[in-house]
Amino acid sequence: MHYLTQPPWLSLRFLAVWLRNLRVWRKLMIPSLLGNFGEPVLYLLALGYGLGQLVGEIEGMTYMVFLGSGIICSSAMTGATFEALYSAYTRLTMQQTWAAMLAAPMNVDDIVLGEIVWAATKALINSTAILIVAASLGLVADLRALLVLPVIGLAGLCFAAIAMIVTAISKSYDFFLYYFTLVLTPMLLLSGVFFPLESLPGAVSAGAMFLPLAHVVLLVRPLMTGGVPDAAMLHLLVIASYAVSAYWIATALARRRLIR
How would you write the pLDDT of the chain (260 residues) with one tens digit per residue?
565 668 888 889 999 999 999 999 888 877 777 766 666 677 777 776 666 666 777 777 888 888 888 889 999 999 999 999 999 999 999 999 999 999 888 899 999 999 999 999 999 998 888 888 888 888 888 888 899 999 999 999 999 999 999 999 999 999 999 999 999 999 999 998 888 888 888 898 889 899 999 999 999 999 998 888 998 999 999 999 999 999 999 999 999 888 75
Predicted model pTM: 0.91
**Into how many domains does the chain fold?**
1
In a domain, 181, yes or no: yes
Model pLDDT, residue 37: 65
d(CA 69, CA 180): 22
In a domain, 76, yes or no: yes
CB-based contact 14:114 (threshold 8 Å): yes
Contacts of 139 (CB under 8 A, 6+ apart): 64, 65, 68, 69, 224
Model pLDDT, residue 152: 96
In a domain, 1, yes or no: no
Contacts of 143 (CB under 8 A, 6+ apart): none
In a domain, 238, yes or no: yes
* Structural domain harbouring 146: 8-258
* Exposure class string for 11-26: b at 16+ Cβ within 10 A, else e: eebbebbbeebeeebe
